[in-house]
Structure 1
Amino acid sequence: MARASQCAHPGPVAEPKYQIRALHTESTVTVYQAYAPEIGLPAAREGRYPAVWQRDRMTWIKPSFLWMMYRCGWGTKEGQETVLAAEISREGFEWALEHACLSHYEHGLHADRATWKRQLKRAPARVQWDPERDLHLQPLAHRSLQLGLTGEAARLYADEWTVSITDITSLAHTIHAHVQGGDLDAARQLLPRERPYPVNEGDLAHLYQ
């Protein structure tokens, strides 16, 4: 008789707590933002952010579609009615990660709080890891990357890294309608096919909590 340990089927493999998951190609990665129509609509129409998009302010990009839905309420929150999918160059995305600082002080990762503050002040990008969301926008155990861009990184994102911008508001509303109607399979079929982004763990060591 075979031993139980040989016959047992392994359970589902848990998602790593910190892992970048995104819709990506060989040259681009898709990130999400949501804006008021006066910014979002011309951005999608022209394929680039308009002049009124403030390049001197911090902007947060999110590779997770469902985290963006949590943030913008499926495109219903005031000032976030237009949901955008921006394809940006992988070179730009990876440059931002390389030059990013974790958005909060973490004992054991940073030498001390003062050192972290200096790094944060100098960094053109910062990273937060927030709970990923399910179709009901409830938190999951693993984390989703948020990448904040400021100064040089924000300007590069808007004017050099961005390859295309697509208005996906109708997609967000359609998926939300399926969720509200209880048809989670239909909703899941429409989700962007996000998969682990190929980056060396050592390259992200400065961004793990």
Structure 2
Amino acid sequence: MRKQHTETTEEVGVPLHQIRAVYDDTTIRVYQAYSEVIADSALAHGTFVSPPFKMERMTWIKPSFLWMMYRAGWGFKEPGQSRILAIDIAREGFEWALAHSCLSHAEPSMSKEEWERLKNESPVRIQWDPERDLLLQPLPHRAIQIGLCKEAVKRYVNQWVRRITDVTPLAHEIHALVEGDRFEEAKARLPTERPFAIDRSIPHF
């Protein structure tokens, strides 16, 4: 039986809604999981190309490595999410996405018409879901997911992408360490994600 693993006190005091990511002065890293065909195409072209990538669908980008691992089951959940990609995108693109976003659900005070109008005017959706620990159990604070559609998808694939890296081997390596109860080693292999400043003038931030 696996011994109980508890997170360190580093998670204590983390704000409920905070973007944490790998970033530098010009780029910020997000993660997506895809099939072999889409991943190979993206790596070969340095961005996503249609086909096989579907421009008409909403695509969700995630700055949190462990939330991506939760969603894709470390790359073992299903064939359509077997390859984990790290996509370094322009910071100005990421900031544009936040500035042109709305929440993925309506505010209680909104009418149906107001909500439909806001969705139609916003090419980006924001969703906050519980962050995950190494066992992919929920933590008290949230990780952001950013859904891109319409104009935002075009900007993403044609303007924002700077570099795509296949991190599936890293995901499998960390998963194997976790399965072997080697939590400190697994934690040392995680990408170092730092708080990313949000423009607080955006209403839902």
Q: TM-score, normalised by structure 1?
A: 0.88
Per-residue CA deviation, residues 123-155 of structure 1 (Å, 9 max, x unaligned), is 100100000000000001101000000000001
**1:20-39 aligned within 5 A:** 20-39=19-38
Check conservation: 1:22, 1:194, Cα contact below 8 A. Answer: yes
Check conservation: 1:70, 1:137, Cα contact below 8 A. Answer: yes
Please state whether the residue corresponding to 1:39 is helix, strand or coil.
helix
Does residue 1:193 correspond to 2:192, yes or no?
yes
Q: Which runs of 5+ in 2 are unaligned?
A: 1-9
Q: Partner of 2:103 in structure 1?
A: 102
Does residue 1:83 correspond to 2:84, yes or no?
yes
Per-residue CA deviation, residues 156-186 of structure 1 (Å, 9 max, x unaligned), is 1011100010000000000000000001111
Q: Partner of 2:133 in structure 1?
A: 134
Q: Partner of 1:159 in structure 2?
A: 158
Please state whether the residue corresponding to 1:196 is helix, strand or coil.
strand
Q: What count of residue pairs does the alignment treat as equivalent?
A: 194
Q: Partner of 1:5 in structure 2?
A: none
Residues 12/55 of structure 1: CA separation in 2 closer, same or farther (3 Å cut): closer
Does residue 1:54 correspond to 2:38, yes or no?
no
Rounded to whole Å, the distance in 2 between the matches of 1:195 and 1:20 is 8
Among all aligned residue pairs of Structure 1 and Structure 2, give the percentage whose two residues are the same amino acid. 50
Rounded to whole Å, the distance in 2 between the matches of 1:92 and 1:59 is 15
The one-letter amino acid paired with 1:207 is H
Q: Partner of 1:93 in structure 2?
A: 94
Q: Partner of 1:69 in structure 2?
A: 69
Per-residue CA deviation, residues 40-63 of structure 1 (Å, 9 max, x unaligned), is 122123321122111111000000
The one-letter amino acid paired with 1:77 is K
Q: Partner of 1:207 in structure 2?
A: 204
Rounded to whole Å, the distance in 2 between the matches of 1:162 and 1:137 is 28
Please state whether the residue corresponding to 1:131 is helix, strand or coil.
strand
Q: TM-score, normalised by structure 2?
A: 0.90
Rounded to whole Å, the distance in 1 between the matches of 2:34 and 2:11 is 37
Instruction: Kindly state the Cα deviation for residue 201 of structure 1 after the two structures are TM-superposed.
Output: 2.5
Q: Partner of 2:3 in structure 1?
A: none
Q: Which runs of 5+ in 1 are unaligned?
A: 1-10
Rounded to whole Å, the distance in 1 between the matches of 2:142 and 2:174 is 22
CA RMSD after TM alignment: 1.5
Instruction: Kindly state the Cα deviation for residue 207 of structure 1 after the two structures are TM-superposed.
Output: 2.5
The one-letter amino acid paired with 2:160 is W
Please state whether the residue corresponding to 2:175 is helix, strand or coil.
helix
Runs of 4+ that moved beyond 6 A? none
Check conservation: 1:41, 1:82, Cα contact below 8 A. Answer: no
Rounded to whole Å, the distance in 2 between the matches of 1:207 and 1:198 is 14
